[in-house]
Structure 1
């Protein structure tokens, strides 16, 4: 009978069931997305490993019919990373990269669909100039980790001559060999972040579903009173209400599956915080999907039965229409206190005392957040009961809230839970950020961009081209290598670094007494550690022959014939200082005039560029010039700090998940607002018929939304700060208030409510008509 009320109860029944189904369906769609998330991450990792192009061995692989030379030519365009590879097959059996059916010819390239669209769009002339290849095909899905990934494979020749261990490599297959797969040790704090992120993102979803199944609660109770009048007992009445909730939740499951399938297809064209997926990634785990299918209807029936415990439905009406008894506070405090008690044993544990108990962490955070849903009705009732005087719109709003504060609190429960969790996470992330962030040492005041040339590339012509590039105001050119007392094939006993640059640039790496072209310096004052240890004093003997290392991967030793350099007389002393990349250079410093013939082959060149960011696309011009110098040239922008990749991945995942939850908050709030307006339609029409101004009614509806939201955000701030403080103490991190994050999170919550209120104004104005009193 309850199912028939929901599905065959006429227009009212259908509207009520549809609103419930949409509300539940939005939550189900996000739950299915979460159920698919582990598969998404594992599939992205699997595809990344399947296309890995690294030999994983220092042993030189001989040329054969099944080998391939591949060079990395990654770049960026407008802060978007582009994965690039140059390929040169050495035989008919050379391994073809995943996603390709054959190798592109010299001067041709195969691109990802997203890169093809980007190149074809307007305003990408600089990118087309950087990739001067003919597009002959697209990379298939198996060769990409995401639908919006920018990638290309281009055909090249002569890579064998460039073959070394960093720019171009020889391999006979793609992927990671089993013997090189290793298990990484998990960081307890990282695992804590992951656990808290999942609980914080999923708890609002559960709250929204519980709220959605109670849509139309007041009308349902009046229908149940009519059933009592025709002979239904109390138990049967509750079973009928449960059946009605079950029908709405089952409809929600169907709609949720539909929303998920639609979103699954839309996901292919969307990129959020640099992460994109293919529809085939979004396949929920069968067990998790089954758990959602069972848990949602069961929760709907349970929530309905629990809600009816506080309502006495009699044949002549619903007792709840009288003034309800005041809510008690003591038991509402038990939930957050129990959550804190579960987290308390892990306070001070940090990362030194093993992993955090995942069950206690999940349970404790969940109880604290669910505690908000128990406390908020009491807070709203207590505050609004003391409100009274004010404008007419204020009095209408306050009176309505005094009569049905529970409905108002339910509407904002999800927002409050989401904001509290976000504040706690923001505090936790900000608190531990320093542990996963370190300074790079780059002197960004001296230069902002580093260009690394392949070994053997002449430095002076490259420096001239870069100096003439649009947006470049200063160029510091440095070459470096290593000197030994024997040819490197013979494993020299003593060695020292070698740096070549003009006098102005050398002064950025050492304090020089005086300098002119042709001078040679020996550096002292370098800290004695494994990276800067040098045998330069032993090698600084006039007339001694030293040998510059030259890489040759075709030789078993990895080195070619060393270039000989003789130590001249009159080597000057210099004292080391941190260079632009934050390192201290030891060994010998040479000006260009002291470089002998053939030494260029053993030197690697680096250029540090000072760039004027006020010039449009200055960095793109720099990258184009670097590629024109040599396709294997690296150009990257310096930053003063860098963060752990794992930490950044979790942070990105949080932003992606928070965006989805935020969208769900807005959609669910809008549905809830429309449902409440629909229940008040006759009341609004009656007030308009008596002459109440529409502006007054609109303001009263705004106050009815703003008051509970304000109280909910205030409660969320208090609970979120308390939970964040406990989580920080668990990680042995000093508790610091992140006021910026607190204001941002509450501002986001308030912004969502403002948008929902504006969207609900058109239907509100349509309902405020006297003909709304007409009935059939």
Structure 2
């Protein structure tokens, strides 16, 4: 009997769900409602599938990055590698040096290659080593070089393009990358002998602060999507309830009516799921042509994982049905009509406050967990806290709108129409704007956290000029003072350079102090005066330089504390012997005068030994050229010209403005991903609000037509629609600002950040208001059409 009862119950459920599905596609109104629901759900599904693909995207990019590592070591760490590298020369080895550069704010990955045998190994993506004067380029770099925008870059990369790097050799389709051939490399400073490409390098533990930022970003970006899917499932609710009342008239009971409603919602959700899959497939094909915030993705990488994909496919229909059934809790569907709780008791506040307070209770115990070095983050606790706080906004907004509009009265006709409509259906009005409210609150909190993390992840060089027109040039190998002088002359003759100076620098071991080194700078008296406040100077002299104060740079004491003090007079350094052969001792004169240094190529005052060539031959130290350039204010291309000069002298060198932010690679990658995802979420919110607004206007089609028939001006009705959108939005933005600041404050306590940037409220709130204005403007043509006399017709 039990089995028979279960079978019968299953048949009843299947029959009623099938009937609801048929109603979803019956009649013009049913089709329109189903299409609106399907489109809304499809937008959310496509966004969720893209989000579910992010782990695979990151994994694929990491794999391709590992594949082009040199001897298992990434190119960014080659400067810390022993140049000998214990790799013997063979027929398959080659020499390589980092040639990464930048062009108008765009980073270019580059390496110079020089084969040492007839069968050298090749990097992924190319099938042969380029000969001297040749290069392989990525498709994006080839496009840039062929355009007018790349004229300056063509002058810098003065190589003949012989091939295009394949997908397996690039992080993304928009990456700017090249491999250039040369014959001037030799093992030594900055040059590595390569025996193989690829190999998984031991990864350092992920920064817990970046994990926190990524966790918060996921919660903030996905919450509006989830809210919109729930809102889309309730499109056309009033018309559906009237259809269900007709079913009660012909004999269906309450349970059957709810099952039919569930079937109707399920049909729209499944249609949206299929359409969302199509949108995902289309966007996946197009994503390879899109670059946002210097982030690009290969379409082949965009595929959701099995678990996350199944969660989206199964979860969206369940959520849609649950939302529709839950919406019927305050509706009594009788054979002669629908009774709504239009005079229901006021919404209660206590349980709506309980949810965000619970979220705050989860975040506050984490205060100080990530302050300083070390620490870990509980992703589940952070996610739960953020989701509960943002959910509290969606719960508090209907209560706030209800409390405000119930006290509003009087005013113009358009205002009274809007207020009365809001008083009768507060829930419908707030559902339309809850997504943007949550998005703005989350964006404010995320921006607060993002700014604090960026400040912690950034090390600023000393800002030596208020106008930021100084450039430091570092890491150019210079064999003697003559070559250093040639580099300085080349910089001075570069177009857009007002002045330039440089010196030869080396770190030499201090004898008797294991592991201690002193910076040695060799140059003429004129060059040394560019570095320190030296009065009398003659060939053969040596000076001890200590960080001093520069009259136009502010106090240099902050950086002086971190600098290594120069060795005392009489110290002995280990240097190369005469002619650069062997090792020898060199004694710092005991009476070497101490001078105050003012500037170095890194922007930090020098601390070390300043020597003239007669006192210490440049041939006895393995040094590098370091210099700085003052750019002309009236030449916007001056920095790129300097980079071109430096690249031609030595592609491994770098040239960057003083005060440049050195941001961790993990932070850069994460920030680009967050802003790219935020752009997609904002586009989704704009599209979802247009659909929601159209659905609300359709629900009031007859009322609008009646008002026009009785002489109400169209301008008045248009203004009333604007007020109906503006009032919940203004209240929502106020609530979002307060909640976003509260959430941001709780998150900042986690990383131990003392201050808050209150100004982030203004752009976020302005963005939300502008989005609402755009949505209202786009809905006006639909409003004019619905106010025609044929709106009085009914099925």
TM-score, normalized by the shorter chain, greater than 0.5: yes
Establish whether residue 107 from structure 1 lines up as the match of residue 133 from structure 2: yes
Residues 497 and 78 from structure 1, CA distance in 2 versus in 1: closer, same or farther, beyond 3 angstroms? closer
Mapped partners of 1:482, 1:373: distance in 2: 61
* The one of 490, 493, 496 aligned to 1:468: 493
Establish whether residue 273 from structure 1 lines up as the match of residue 293 from structure 2: yes
* The one of 433, 438, 455 aligned to 2:459: 438
Residue range with higher mean Cα deviation, 708-717 or 361-370: 361-370
Q: Deviations over 1:231-281 (max 9, x none)?
A: 111110011001111111111111111111111111111111111110011
* The one of 481, 491, 495 aligned to 2:506: 481
Residues 577 and 466 from structure 1, CA distance in 2 versus in 1: closer, same or farther, beyond 3 angstroms? closer
Alpha-carbon shift at residue 634 of structure 1 (Å): 2.9
The secondary structure found in structure 2 opposite 1:670 is: helix
Mapped partners of 2:764, 2:668: distance in 1: 20
Mapped partners of 1:138, 1:524: distance in 2: 50
Paired residues of 2:214 and 2:670 also in contact (CA < 8 A): yes
The secondary structure found in structure 1 opposite 2:252 is: coil
Establish whether residue 690 from structure 1 lines up as the match of residue 715 from structure 2: no
Residues 576 and 2 from structure 1, CA distance in 2 versus in 1: closer, same or farther, beyond 3 angstroms? farther
Residues 2 and 93 from structure 1, CA distance in 2 versus in 1: closer, same or farther, beyond 3 angstroms? farther
Paired residue for 2:42?
25
* The one of 629, 635, 640 aligned to 1:620: 640
Residues 751 and 502 from structure 1, CA distance in 2 versus in 1: closer, same or farther, beyond 3 angstroms? farther
Paired residue for 1:363?
384
Paired residues of 2:568 and 2:590 also in contact (CA < 8 A): no
Paired residue for 2:156?
130
Paired residue for 1:185?
205
Residues 738 and 492 from structure 1, CA distance in 2 versus in 1: closer, same or farther, beyond 3 angstroms? closer
The secondary structure found in structure 2 opposite 1:510 is: coil
Residues 762 and 46 from structure 1, CA distance in 2 versus in 1: closer, same or farther, beyond 3 angstroms? same
Establish whether residue 754 from structure 1 lines up as the match of residue 773 from structure 2: yes
The 5-angstrom pairing of residues 542-621 of structure 1 reads: 547-548=575-576, 561=581, 572-577=592-597, 579-580=599-600, 581-583=602-604, 585-591=606-612, 596=617, 599=619, 602-621=622-641
Alpha-carbon shift at residue 729 of structure 1 (Å): 2.9
* The one of 758, 768, 776 aligned to 2:787: 768
Paired residue for 2:535?
513
Alpha-carbon shift at residue 370 of structure 1 (Å): 1.0
Mapped partners of 1:321, 1:587: distance in 2: 82
Residues 239 and 733 from structure 1, CA distance in 2 versus in 1: closer, same or farther, beyond 3 angstroms? same
The secondary structure found in structure 2 opposite 1:522 is: strand
Paired residues of 1:108 and 1:154 also in contact (CA < 8 A): yes
Paired residues of 1:64 and 1:91 also in contact (CA < 8 A): yes
Q: Deviations over 1:96-140 (max 9, x none)?
A: 110112222332221111111111112321111111222222110
Residue range with higher mean Cα deviation, 519-528 or 610-619: 519-528
- Give TM-score scaled by structure 2 length: 0.88
Mapped partners of 2:620, 2:156: distance in 1: 26
Alpha-carbon shift at residue 359 of structure 1 (Å): 2.6
Paired residues of 1:455 and 1:601 also in contact (CA < 8 A): no
Mapped partners of 1:348, 1:401: distance in 2: 44
Paired residue for 2:168?
142
Establish whether residue 39 from structure 1 lines up as the match of residue 62 from structure 2: no
Residue range with higher mean Cα deviation, 448-457 or 744-753: 448-457
Paired residues of 1:99 and 1:142 also in contact (CA < 8 A): yes
Mapped partners of 1:470, 1:360: distance in 2: 56
The secondary structure found in structure 1 opposite 2:610 is: strand
Paired residue for 1:165?
189
Mapped partners of 1:467, 1:393: distance in 2: 70
Paired residues of 1:522 and 1:536 also in contact (CA < 8 A): no
Residues 522 and 695 from structure 1, CA distance in 2 versus in 1: closer, same or farther, beyond 3 angstroms? same
Paired residue for 1:556?
none
Residue range with higher mean Cα deviation, 469-478 or 57-66: 57-66
Residues 126 and 432 from structure 1, CA distance in 2 versus in 1: closer, same or farther, beyond 3 angstroms? closer
Alpha-carbon shift at residue 524 of structure 1 (Å): 5.6
Paired residue for 1:219?
239
Residue range with higher mean Cα deviation, 34-43 or 98-107: 98-107
The 5-angstrom pairing of residues 258-657 of structure 1 reads: 258-320=278-340, 322-351=342-371, 354-441=375-462, 443-444=464-465, 448-452=470-474, 453-456=476-479, 458-482=483-507, 496-516=518-538, 518-523=539-544, 525=546, 532=564, 535=567, 537-538=569-570, 547-548=575-576, 561=581, 572-577=592-597, 579-580=599-600, 581-583=602-604, 585-591=606-612, 596=617, 599=619, 602-639=622-659, 641-657=661-677
Alpha-carbon shift at residue 432 of structure 1 (Å): 4.7
Paired residue for 1:66?
92
Residues 269 and 630 from structure 1, CA distance in 2 versus in 1: closer, same or farther, beyond 3 angstroms? same
* The one of 85, 88, 97 aligned to 2:114: 88
The secondary structure found in structure 2 opposite 1:511 is: coil
Paired residues of 1:54 and 1:169 also in contact (CA < 8 A): no
Paired residue for 1:745?
764
Residues 524 and 414 from structure 1, CA distance in 2 versus in 1: closer, same or farther, beyond 3 angstroms? closer
Paired residues of 1:21 and 1:252 also in contact (CA < 8 A): yes
Size of the alignment, in residue pairs? 752
Q: Deviations over 1:347-387 (max 9, x none)?
A: 44444795343332222221111111111111111211111
Residue range with higher mean Cα deviation, 44-53 or 724-733: 724-733
Residues 562 and 699 from structure 1, CA distance in 2 versus in 1: closer, same or farther, beyond 3 angstroms? farther
Mapped partners of 2:581, 2:20: distance in 1: 86
Mapped partners of 1:525, 1:664: distance in 2: 58
Residues 441 and 499 from structure 1, CA distance in 2 versus in 1: closer, same or farther, beyond 3 angstroms? same
Q: Deviations over 1:378-428 (max 9, x none)?
A: 111121111121111111111111121110000011111111112222233
Q: Deviations over 1:43-91 (max 9, x none)?
A: 1111111101257563332210110111221111111111112212222
* The one of 230, 233, 238 aligned to 1:210: 230
Q: Deviations over 1:495-518 (max 9, x none)?
A: 7532123445423533323235x2
Gap regions ≥5 residues in structure 2 = 1-17, 74-80, 548-558
Residues 572 and 210 from structure 1, CA distance in 2 versus in 1: closer, same or farther, beyond 3 angstroms? same
Paired residue for 2:277?
257
Mapped partners of 1:200, 1:528: distance in 2: 42
Residues 438 and 136 from structure 1, CA distance in 2 versus in 1: closer, same or farther, beyond 3 angstroms? closer
Paired residues of 1:522 and 1:571 also in contact (CA < 8 A): no
Alpha-carbon shift at residue 594 of structure 1 (Å): 6.0
Q: Deviations over 1:281-311 (max 9, x none)?
A: 1110011100111111111111111110111
Paired residues of 1:502 and 1:591 also in contact (CA < 8 A): yes
Paired residues of 2:38 and 2:272 also in contact (CA < 8 A): yes
Mapped partners of 2:377, 2:626: distance in 1: 46
Alpha-carbon shift at residue 577 of structure 1 (Å): 3.0
Alpha-carbon shift at residue 329 of structure 1 (Å): 2.1
Gap regions ≥5 residues in structure 1 = 551-558
Alpha-carbon shift at residue 765 of structure 1 (Å): 2.3
Paired residues of 1:69 and 1:88 also in contact (CA < 8 A): yes
Paired residues of 1:109 and 1:134 also in contact (CA < 8 A): yes
Residue range with higher mean Cα deviation, 383-392 or 736-745: 736-745
Alpha-carbon shift at residue 15 of structure 1 (Å): 1.3
- Give TM-score scaled by structure 1 length: 0.90
